[in-house]
Each structure stands twice: as C-alpha cells, then as structure tokens.
Structure 1
Amino acid sequence: MHSTAEAPDQKMEYTAYSSDKYSIEDARADIEQSSINLEEEENSPIPEVAAIVSNKDDPTLPVMTFRYWIMAIVFSLILSFFNQFFWFRTNPMMISSMVIQLLSFPIGKAMARILPAGPLNPGPFSIKEHVLVSITANCAGGTAYAVDITIIQKVFYGEDFGFLANFLLILCTQMVGFGMAGVLRRYLVYPAAMVWPANLVQVALFNTLHKEEELAPGQWSRFKFFLVATFAMFLYSWIPGFLFPVLSSIAWICWIKPDNLVLSQLTGAGGLGIGTISLDWNTIVSFLGSPLIVPWWAQVNIALGFFLIAWVMVPIAYYTNLWDAKKFPILTPALFTRDGHTYDTQRVLTNNILDEKKYDAYGPLRISTFFALTYGIGFAGLASMITHTWLYHRHKLAAQWKQSRGHSEDIHHRLMQAYPEVPDWWYASLFVLMTVIGVITCEVWDYKLPWWGVLLAVAMSAFFALPVGLIQAVTNQQPGLNIITEYVIGYILPGRAIANVTFKTLGYISMAQALLFTVDLKLGHYMKIPPRALFWAQCMGTFIAGLVNLLTANWLLGSIDNICAEDHKTFNCPNARTFYSASVIWGAIAPDRMFGPTSIYNAINYFFLIGFVLPIPFYYLKKKFPNTMLDYVHIPVLLAATSMMPPARAYNYTNWLAVGFIFQFFARRYHPEWHLRFTYVLSAAFDSGTAFMVLVSFFIFTIRDAYMVEWWGTRYDLCPLEGSPMIAPPEQLQQ
C-alpha cells in the first residue's frame, strides 16, 4: 500500500484501515457479532489485539494443501492479469485481494466436499489455507511499478531492451524488499507492541467467515449477497461502459452553454468538475479505490483537502495567471513549451540523455499550474508527515521501539514457536541475489544507471525501511520515498530520464514492498501460519505477478494501435503518461532546472516548510479545544487529498466522496448492522462485476475494433475543453 503523501506519479490506493480507532472499532464490533470469546488471563497485552485475535492455535490444521496450490496459483494469475489490464485503461481500476478472500472461501469448501478424501483433500477447508491463499493473492494483486518503465521506454522514448531485461528489473525491484523484511520481522512482527492495526479487520473477517452464520428466516448469507450484487453490477455496467458512456460523466451544468470556455473549465469533466455526476462504478473507483471501505474521518479530510486545493487554490492560481497558467489547460499532466505547445522531449535528447545545446535552443519545459501545485502539495505532505508523527506519536513510537528491542513475547509469539522459523540466510540470500540482479540488469542494458546508483537506491530503501515501518505499524501512515529518490538522483545524474525512474523504483518501491511483505508476515503471525509456508507463498505470488504483469503489458502494447495516446478512447494509460511526465521533469530536465533558483517554479520549494509547520498549530488547538471537530483534522491525509490528480480528474473525487458519504456515514450511522455485515462485501462485488463486464467487452468488441453505434450518448465532446484527454474529435472515437 502506497503512502498518502506522494508525488503525482505514484500508484496509490486509499486503505480501509487508515484509522487505528475506526478500523479497530469496526473489527471489534464484527468479532462481537461473531461471538468469539477470548481468555483474558492468557492473551496479548494490547487490548485491541486481545479483543480481535484468537489466542488459540491448532498446529495440526493443513496449510499448503493441494487445494491451496490450485487456488493460490489460479487466483494470482487472474488478479495480476486483471489489475495490469485495467492499469492501461482511461479509467483504471484495481480489484482488491478482498475479492479473492471472499471467493476462495466457498470454493475451498466446495473442493473439500468434492475431492476424494486423502492426501489431496485432508479434511475441511481450514482458516489457515484460506489466509495463505489470500496472502499469496495479495502479493500478486498490485501492478509492478517497474512495468511503467517498460511502457514509457517503448511508447515515449522509442527503446526496448527486450523481455529478459524488463523481467529482471521487475523481479529485483519487487523482491529485494523481501530480503529486508527478514530483518524487519524481529522489530515489526514478533513484538506484541507492533500492532499493525490494518491487519485487525482482516483477522475479524477471516474469523467471521469461518464461523457458521446464524441466519434468520429469509436472511441472505454474505456469499449469496456477493453473487447477486456481482451479477447485478455486471449487467448494469454495460450501460455506462458501452451503451450510454455519457453516464460516466454527466456535466449537466456545462451542457447549458458548452461553448463557454470558463464554464467548461469549472464544470466540465475535463476541468474542475463542479456538479459533474458519474453513474459508472469504474469511473468512481478508477483512481482512489472503493469509497465503501475508507473510514469517514479520512474521507472528511480528503474532502477538505480536495475542496481547498482543487476548488479554491487552483481557480485563484489559474485566473490570476500564476506561472502563465492561462497558456495551458487548467488540469493536465502534459508537458508544454513556453508558448503553450506540446513539448517534444525528443528534440532536447540525444540517445535519451539531455543535450544542453538542444535544450537551450528549444526552450525550457513548462507544466500546467495545477500540475506544479500538486508537486508542491506532495512536498508539503511529506514534510507534514514528519511533524505529525513527532507531535502525535513520538511517545508511542519510543515506547514500542523499546519493547520491540526486548522482543517482548505475548501469547501469539509463544504459539508461533511451534513452527520452524525461516532461516536468516534465506532472506539474506534473496536480498543479495536481487541486488546483484539489479546491478547486472543496469550494467548489461543501457538503463544509464551505474552500479553504484543501484547500490545507493537499495541502501536508501534499506535505511528508511525500519523507521518508516515503525511509523506505519503504529499509525497506518507510510511516508513515501519517491520524492526524495527523484530529488537525489536528479541532482546526481541530471539529464537521464530512464536512470531517474529506475533509481526511484529501486529506492521507493523496494521499501514499500518490504513493508507490504512485513504487513503480511504480521497477518500470518496473528493467524498462526507456519513461517516457511508463508515465505514460499509470498515468493510465489510476487513472482507470478511480475511475470504476468509484463506479459499482459507486452500483449496490450503490441495488439492495440495508438495505445497510451492522450486521445485514445479506451486505453490512454493515464498513470503511465503521468509517470512519463515525471521522468522528464525529474530526470531529463532535472530538479535544478525545474525547481532551482532560476526556475519560475522555484517557490514550490517553500511547500516543504509550509507542510513542516502546518501540523503544529492544529496540534495545540486540539489540546486547547478537545473533543471537537478538530480531533478529526489530519494534516497529512488532508494534504494528500489530491495526490492522485493528475491523472485523476476532479469529478472522480466528488463522486467518490458522495458514494462514501452514503455508506461510511449514512449507512454506518443509521443502519450499523447492515453496514458491518455487507458493506465490504458489496465493495468487492461491485469491483468484480465491473471487472468481468470490462473484460468481456474487451474480448468481444474492443479487440475486434467494434464499438457501440454512434449516437448522442456515446459522444465525448459534449462539453469541449482544450487540452483535455477526455475529449477527442468524433473521427477519433472509433480508434
């Protein structure tokens, strides 16, 4: 899971577990509904863990069974393919591993009934098998960050190092962090003080699923509800997704006078989206994930941050012509010349390295004012995370660090002694092997990153992994390293775009992957999964994901004409195009030229100071006025609100927040039993139904260049806005 304080090129999804308080209360309520009783005298010293995690274990339960291998491999293949496929789409989406968690339960039970009893079917489908299937799928569920390097190389830089080079880069960037997790487990997994609240809801859901549901007459089970909701969303998704696409972005205010540019900028889907309505689940969740699983307090902070940044700061900056704002579209990640034309990066590069003479002749790079502000907000968010953590969590972090150094054992750590631990040399060997692969890959192929650059990137990720992990284990907030890594290598090796993104991926994602593995190790610790089984499960899921991600990307790049073009109707690759823009800004042009003393964007650097100072007054105001609305103000989350813009559009946010209000405020407050029972299930069902529809539509229509007959409801130019990738001329809509 990526940090909420990231630069605009990040891959990020808001988590359901952003709040310790909220997630634990929800999980405890769900556990209490399930009537799980724990013995007080022999339990975790942490009350939240004692209330949710079972203090019993049965070491005889089967884990890596035939059923596990079949489901883990199949689900990993499916999830990694689907998520990489959707990553290219104009409205991308991610299918969460919660879908696999729900689907694998009835399938595992069915396999236990159908298969003949014996070694292949050792009794009932166990909770440990279920957990291991979900963890494997979770490792396979994300899209490998390094795939975007392959995409921008092929599409924007005109180079291709071949499948082997691409796969080795993906493999080392995804798995070098696993070696770090072997060290981190002593400090972030074993100690009782390291709670990782995000896992408590997962534990609650597993326990709830494996307890027989006591259903009232006529009451639906969770699984029946999931199937019906999935089928309903599958049928409905054909309307906005194929038959009537205008329903994806109903800019009804803009339609009043569509030729008015200011009205289009403020209310159009390609502008600030005021009043724009979306009736398409894919559009609503495409960049921010499902609003059904994000706690209300976090959504309030996201809403405040979005309104202040997108609807206050941006219009003021744009209409006062800050940084020549009116020469460019109001909201775009595209790159421009000083006079507002598209910036042709190839005109300033020689062998994909900046040529200073060509650059001086062609002129400086310009970006939209909004794009520049998003970087500034990213700077502020990173700095605010440091101050916020110090003010609110320093005593807790210090206390838990002291406890972790003593390896304080609780009942869960003692129960885990029944299983052989993974030897340190397994993790060490994997770490060394992946680092060596990274060095060889960058030396053999022309990534323009020397061997010492690979070692520096890995060293940075290793250095920050423990302190960032301590923060995340307590606060569920993960400060990202992509801003730091981009800055560092941008100054050390200016002019090298591919070297910049390669260094960033090695430095940023290695740490993020290390903590992703650590989160799952803690989940395995809570659920008493044998460590060696967990090791191989994580390795397998990660390997499958990297391979399938790359194969899927290569297939799409080779089979779809004009893919990743800004005006492509279905596959305009918004994330990859933003990643490309970042490679030019931080790599080719470099931070000194973009944000240095001679740049018009130099003032952006002051956002570091603003972010560092901003949490301080709120901290003291909360102390002076306790138990007020100020208690819910979380500056890092607020500043991270627009971290996905661009490529996300403003109307993605407004509709996401509206749906979140319905479920996380209204349903939770007025229908708490229904909310606890079905909200997460409904989210997974909607994701699944939409995903199936998109995939069926692709193989039946898109891949054969067949589209819906043109009519008013299929037009994308109802509210034209110059420079908007949402708008394409009618003759391009069938491309």
Structure 2
Amino acid sequence: MVRAAVSNKDDPDTPCLTFRSLTLGILFCTGLAFVNQFFYFRANPIALGGYVIQLLSFPLGYLMARILPRTRFRTFGWEWSLNPGPFSIKEHALVSIFAGPSASAAYAIDVPVIIRLYYKIELGFATSVLFILTSQVIALSLAGFSRKLLVYPAAMIWPANLVSVTVFRTFHEIQDFGGRISRTRAFWLCFASSFVWYLLPGWIFPALSMLPLLCYIAPRSVIANQLGDGFRGLGILAVSLDWSTWSSAYTGSPIACPFPMACNMFAGFVIFMWIITPIGYYANSFKAGNLPIYSMGLFLPNGSSYDISQVMVNKRLDHIQYRQYGPVRITFQFAARYGLTFTSLATLLVYVALYYGKDIVQRVRQARIMDEDIHLKLMRKYKEVPHWWYIVTFVITFVLAIITCHVYHLMPWYWVVVGTILPFIFTIPIGIIQALSNQQPGLNIITEFIIGYARPGDPIANVTFKVYGYITMTQALSLVGDQKLGHYMKIPPRHLFIAQLVGTIICGFVQLGVAFWLIDTVKGMCTPEGAPFTCITTNTFYSASVIWGLVGPAYLFGTGQIYHPMIYLFLVGLLLPIPIWHMSRKYPNSLWTYINVPVIFNSVGSMPPAPTHDFVWFFLGSLLFNCIIHKYWNGWWQRYAFALSAGMDSGLAISGIFIFAALRSVEISWWGNMYVGSVPHCPLSSRGFQP
C-alpha cells in the first residue's frame, strides 16, 4: 500500500515553509476551525477534513505563485521571498498539516459547553482558553516524544495518510500509469460525481442515507423497527446509497483501511451488535426491556427520561434525593459497550506486549539505531527537532494546566499530574494499533472510572480529568498521524513543529470562540428547541459525566449494583489474546495471523452515537475495493483507488457546504425528506419491546 502511494524520491531544495504556506495555513486553520465547530453541534454534523484543505489550497497556492512579486527580503539573517517559484508539493502538504488540528472539532470543547449549559456554571472565555490550549499543547509534546516509535518505523504505515499522499501527488506530479485516463482526471471525475450525487441524500432525498427494509416490511412491529433502524436500532438490512455512510466520521474511508482490519472491525460489530445485543436485550438483561435497544439516553427504571436536577444540590449529587427519585438506568447495549471498553483496554495491553513488546524494548534501548527504510534515509538530510523543544513546551503547558485547574476549581492539582501520566503510558500501544488499522481504542472509560471512584459526585472534576487523561492522548495521536504524513512528504521536521504548534493554538481560540458564540446566540442550544443545534455528541459527553461523575461508578458498577458484572470483562481482555497469539505462532500461514483482538473489541467503541449501518457499508466498501478489485484488477486499484476515495470524500464535503450555504432555505416537502433521524421510517424503534 505504501509503495503504491508514496514517492521514494526527494528534492531538499523544494520550498516548504514559505510566506504562501504560512498564509494559507493560517487561513485554512481559521476557516475550518470555524466551520467544523459550527457543524459539530448540529443534528447532522459534517466534518470537513484534510481533503477539503488539500483541494482548496492548491488553486489558491497556484494563484499566489502567479500574482505575487518575486522580490527577496532578508529578516534576521534569513532570506525569503513572497514568491519562491511554483507552488510546491511540500508547501501544499504543510498547509494541510498546519490546518490539521482544525480538521475536526476539539473534543475538549465539550467540557466548557456542558459546564455552562447543563451544570449552569459560568466559565469565562479566558479560563476556557487556558484549559483547551494546555491539553492540546501537552498533546503536541507527547506526539514529539513518540515519533521514534510511531513515525519513523516503516511498519507504522498510518493507512489514512496514503489517501492524502495520493491527492498531493495527483495535483503536483505528471505520472503515466498506463491507464486510459490520468489519476488527476480520475480524481476530478469522482469529485464531480460525488458533489452532484450528494445533492440527493444531503438535500432532495435524505432517506437515501438509510432505507430500513425491515421497517418497511413490518412497520407496526416494534422488534422489526428496532432491528432495522440504522440510527436508533441495529441496522439490519438498512440500505444506504450515501457515500457519507460508507466513509463516515466513525469508520473512515473503506479504501484507506486494509481489508484484514476491516474484517476484524466487522466481526466485532456482528458479534456485539447483531448477536450479543439482541440476545441480552430481549432476555431483559439488566431489566432493560422497557428501554430502547440503542440509545445514549439516561432513564429511570420505568423507561422515562432521567432529570438530574431532581438529585443535585449545589452542583453535586444528593444521595438522599437520589434514593428517593430513583437510580439511573441505561440501555443494555450502552452498558455492555462499557464492559467491552474494559475488555478492549486489557486486550490492547496484552496484545501489544505479545506482538510488539520485543520491538518496542529494542527501539527504546537503541533509539538511534534502527532499520532505515528509504523514507527515513531521505529524511536524514534535514535537521531533527531537538528533544528540548518538546520538553520546554511540555513543562510550560503542564504548569499552566495545574494553575488553571487549581485556581478555577476544576479539580485538585494532583489529579492533573495523574491525568497527564495516563497518556504517557498508553499513547505508544494505542498508537501502534491506530498506525496499523486506523482504529483508536479509547481511554475514556478508564479515566472516568478512576476519577469517578476517587471523587464521586463531582462531574466537573470527572470531565476535566477525562480531558487530560484521554483527550490529550487522542489529540497527540492525531498530531502523530500528521507527523507521519510529513514524513511521507519529506517535510523538514522543524517546519513541521512550527506548523503544528501555531495551528494548534489558532484552532483552540477559534473553536472555543465559535462554541461561546453559539451558546450566547442560539436559543435552546443543545435541546430540541435549539434544532438543528441539538448537539448529539455533546449530549453523549454529558450523559457520561452523569454516569461516571455525578452518580459515580460505585452506584452503577460497584459490588451489588446492576451493572457490576461488566467489570469482570477486564479479566476476559487479559486472557483472550494469549491463545490467539499462540495459534498465530503455531500456524503462521493461517487465518490466525490476521486476527487483531483489540480492533475487534474496539470496533463498537463509538456506539452510541454512531449509526449502526455505517459499519455494514464500510465493510462492504472495503470488500469491494480492497479485496475484489485489489485481487482481480490490481493495476486499476493501484492507479485509481486512492484517487477515487479522495475525490468522493472531497466532493461530498464541498457539496455539504454548498447545501448549507445556498440551499438550506429552500424547503422540499415529500416522503423522502420529511424525517428527523429516522422517525417516520421506523416510528417504533425508540420504544422498549415490553409494554
């Protein structure tokens, strides 16, 4: 896969960190941070990722190369020019990396949002900025410390980056692949087709995103509705003709994921969502039969929604009122997913120790001596980023994090220390899994579990600890992925450091500003009254803060509590990889070698709120492109597969912007678009199966 996408040549004289790349980087970082944070809170969020940056920055860079003067300047001994020549592939890649932090909404933004909206505590903009930036910049330091193990080794391929590399080479290199059409033309054909087609599921016929056949066959059957709904049910026989379902924010592109990893993901999905969930739910396990089959909501035992204001006094849990009002209940699937998260984490540690332990120890002991592939050899021409740059960055932001949390009573300072230690432990093993499979097992449940037991009844401390213990790691791995992209594109490491640091800071300010602006201007923000700003992901974040912070794990997972059996799945995770590892060593040419236990268990980590049918069509897409076409039409696959993926994703993203900007005020009322989520098509899916 790497050989098909990445060039094994480099010209060190190619312009990289220039006036053009800095200008475009700041422009796109600011613009995408605004747009993605704006869409993040909507009922149907759209994430404009790296493909949009790559697509739009090229014509602007080309235009700047045509019109800017070539006058040279000297500043502090550094000679530079507004226009050093043609817009280069390295400038193009650096713009994308610069804007990388804005390619998705910052998960940490949910903390000040739920503090203001749900817990009714005023948290000022300055305090929130310090909170967001310290967690994000600590992540940059952690990414720098991890590069020798997660960026430089050839085995760490980071598959999603291969599509981006293909886009850059498509724009900048004239290549003869022996096909009837060039890869550039193939990209634009796919882009145009995707743009036009998305007008149907995105505006005219939204039902194309999910056609639930079981609901149409038996519309009055609660069970058929629950099994067939792809949004509020299990997604069985839910057909989708929408590329955003095939290549969703929860799965990534099916073409960018190796087929064996897609098989592992789908196996985990089938086992958990189509076998375990219906068996447990219809057996009324955890007394969840009167709750929905698939929901992130909080309920009373009778199935009605849970009102936390009935059990809170002075922003903390009142135990007497909690006992009087009633215990929190969650769906069987939601509870079991928490259990599988325990399994996933334990499995990850054992799996990495068995499969990669020796290699990690060897690289740690001999960090400067490693087998160099062609890309690492080419990168040796450039000055490395000194470790002290990352150390100083870490120390400054770590001290600011302690001050912020202590002064503004977010949580005690010593829990900042504990929370920062966790990502240092787990970034390497989790990064290895992501570098191989595009999947990232999460620490969110573990961080919530730790602080939930340590400080029960304190939801603010819970979500704050979660940011430093979990979200910092996810941001670090995102930055590591961009460092691998820079490695593939032969970006000088010091240029990469500057771009990531400045981009992270700009992104934090802009995204937080958008969140505060929406809170202050949208009436009923994050409620049905504020539609379309109903904040699905933020509501999930809030539910977790109630479960693990306000109520606390002792009331839900403690000894004698209803969900206590889920804790023992941690032991299952410790043992399960061992026999599979043994069989893969005993039979090295068998299917045992393709089984990746952490990926299997992590495949449902985003459920809820992820639509269940996304995973079905992601797998079918990978089966089509990375198995059938790759096997029988390999030449076509090498020429066009990544160009097709990039074109489809880019066309969809631009079409989404066009629909929002130009067509949202044009109403079309008919059967195909008269629904929110999936209600008219599966009207009974949100009910319990028991009366």
Answer whether TM exceeds 0.5 for this pair. yes
| Kept in 1: contact 2:46–2:656 (CA 8 A) | no
1:171-213 deviation line (CA, Å, top 9, x unaligned):
1111112233444456666xx6575322783667656654322
What one-letter code is carried by the residue in structure 2 that aligns with 1:572?
A: T
1:136-151 to 2 correspondences below 5 Å: 136-151=98-113
Partner of 1:339: 302
The alpha-carbon deviation at position 692 of structure 1 amounts to: 2.9
Select 2:265's aligned residue among 302, 321, 324: 302
* SS across alignment from 1:146: helix
Change in Cα spacing, 1:670 to 1:714, as seen in structure 2 (3 Å) is farther
Select 1:235's aligned residue among 181, 196, 203: 196
C-alpha separation in 2, matches of 1:256 and 1:217: 45
What one-letter code is carried by the residue in structure 1 that aligns with 2:199?
A: W
C-alpha separation in 2, matches of 1:478 and 1:244: 33
Change in Cα spacing, 1:710 to 1:515, as seen in structure 2 (3 Å) is closer
1:331-480 to 2 correspondences below 5 Å: 331-404=294-367, 419=382, 421-447=384-410, 449-465=411-427, 480=442
Change in Cα spacing, 1:459 to 1:399, as seen in structure 2 (3 Å) is closer
The alpha-carbon deviation at position 614 of structure 1 amounts to: 1.4
Partner of 1:174: 136
Partner of 1:538: 500
* SS across alignment from 1:62: coil
Stretch deviating more after TM superposition (603-612 or 108-117): 108-117
C-alpha separation in 1, matches of 2:668 and 2:634: 42
* SS across alignment from 2:289: helix
The alpha-carbon deviation at position 473 of structure 1 amounts to: 6.7
Select 1:265's aligned residue among 215, 223, 226: 226
| Kept in 1: contact 2:427–2:473 (CA 8 A) | yes
What one-letter code is carried by the residue in structure 2 that aligns with 1:227?
A: W
Change in Cα spacing, 1:419 to 1:280, as seen in structure 2 (3 Å) is closer
Change in Cα spacing, 1:689 to 1:606, as seen in structure 2 (3 Å) is same
Select 1:78's aligned residue among 19, 25, 31: 31
Stretch deviating more after TM superposition (687-696 or 99-108): 99-108
Change in Cα spacing, 1:326 to 1:684, as seen in structure 2 (3 Å) is same
Select 2:3's aligned residue among 24, 28, 45: 28
Change in Cα spacing, 1:353 to 1:163, as seen in structure 2 (3 Å) is same
The alpha-carbon deviation at position 157 of structure 1 amounts to: 2.2
Matched, 1:198 2:132: no
The alpha-carbon deviation at position 468 of structure 1 amounts to: 5.4
* SS across alignment from 1:378: helix
Select 1:62's aligned residue among 7, 11, 15: 15
1:283-304 deviation line (CA, Å, top 9, x unaligned):
4414323223222111111111
C-alpha separation in 1, matches of 2:574 and 2:34: 40
1:484-563 to 2 correspondences below 5 Å: 484-525=446-487, 527-563=489-525
1:692-707 to 2 correspondences below 5 Å: 692-700=654-662, 702=664, 707=667
Change in Cα spacing, 1:308 to 1:410, as seen in structure 2 (3 Å) is closer
C-alpha separation in 2, matches of 1:445 and 1:394: 41
Change in Cα spacing, 1:347 to 1:446, as seen in structure 2 (3 Å) is farther
C-alpha separation in 2, matches of 1:247 and 1:234: 15
The alpha-carbon deviation at position 366 of structure 1 amounts to: 0.8
Change in Cα spacing, 1:552 to 1:279, as seen in structure 2 (3 Å) is farther
What one-letter code is carried by the residue in structure 1 that aligns with 2:278?
A: P
Select 2:236's aligned residue among 247, 250, 274: 274
C-alpha separation in 2, matches of 1:638 and 1:30: 27
| Kept in 2: contact 1:419–1:530 (CA 8 A) | yes
Partner of 1:20: none
1:209-220 to 2 correspondences below 5 Å: 210-214=172-176, 219-220=181-182
The alpha-carbon deviation at position 546 of structure 1 amounts to: 1.4
What one-letter code is carried by the residue in structure 2 that aligns with 1:282?
A: S
What one-letter code is carried by the residue in structure 2 that aligns with 1:445?
A: Y
Stretch deviating more after TM superposition (522-531 or 76-85): 522-531
The alpha-carbon deviation at position 249 of structure 1 amounts to: 1.7
Partner of 2:645: 683
Change in Cα spacing, 1:673 to 1:549, as seen in structure 2 (3 Å) is farther
Change in Cα spacing, 1:472 to 1:259, as seen in structure 2 (3 Å) is closer
Partner of 2:77: none
1:523-551 deviation line (CA, Å, top 9, x unaligned):
54565433332221111211222122223
Cα RMSD after superposing both structures: 3.1
1:294-346 deviation line (CA, Å, top 9, x unaligned):
22111111111111111111111011110112120011010111221111112
Select 1:708's aligned residue among 639, 664, 668: 668
* SS across alignment from 2:498: helix
1:489-514 deviation line (CA, Å, top 9, x unaligned):
11111111121111111111223333
Select 1:253's aligned residue among 210, 214, 227: 214
- Please, what TM-score do these two structures have when normalized by structure 2? 0.88
C-alpha separation in 2, matches of 1:399 and 1:303: 33
The alpha-carbon deviation at position 422 of structure 1 amounts to: 4.2
Change in Cα spacing, 1:423 to 1:629, as seen in structure 2 (3 Å) is closer
The alpha-carbon deviation at position 364 of structure 1 amounts to: 1.5
1:309-328 to 2 correspondences below 5 Å: 309-328=272-291
| Kept in 2: contact 1:92–1:286 (CA 8 A) | no
| Kept in 1: contact 2:440–2:602 (CA 8 A) | no
C-alpha separation in 2, matches of 1:346 and 1:485: 25
| Kept in 1: contact 2:257–2:438 (CA 8 A) | no
Stretch deviating more after TM superposition (573-582 or 122-131): 122-131
Partner of 1:667: 629
| Kept in 2: contact 1:271–1:721 (CA 8 A) | no
Change in Cα spacing, 1:683 to 1:548, as seen in structure 2 (3 Å) is farther
| Kept in 1: contact 2:226–2:686 (CA 8 A) | no
Change in Cα spacing, 1:157 to 1:387, as seen in structure 2 (3 Å) is same
Partner of 1:729: none
C-alpha separation in 1, matches of 2:143 and 2:235: 43
C-alpha separation in 1, matches of 2:500 and 2:672: 49
Partner of 2:78: none
Matched, 1:583 2:536: no
1:370-396 deviation line (CA, Å, top 9, x unaligned):
100111111111111112112222232
* SS across alignment from 2:288: helix
**Among the aligned pairs, what percent are the same residue?**
40
* SS across alignment from 1:198: coil
Select 1:108's aligned residue among 61, 68, 71: 61
Partner of 1:609: 571
Change in Cα spacing, 1:154 to 1:255, as seen in structure 2 (3 Å) is farther
1:222-264 deviation line (CA, Å, top 9, x unaligned):
2x43334333322322222222222222112212231211111
C-alpha separation in 2, matches of 1:474 and 1:261: 40
The alpha-carbon deviation at position 136 of structure 1 amounts to: 1.1
The alpha-carbon deviation at position 559 of structure 1 amounts to: 4.4
C-alpha separation in 1, matches of 2:146 and 2:61: 32
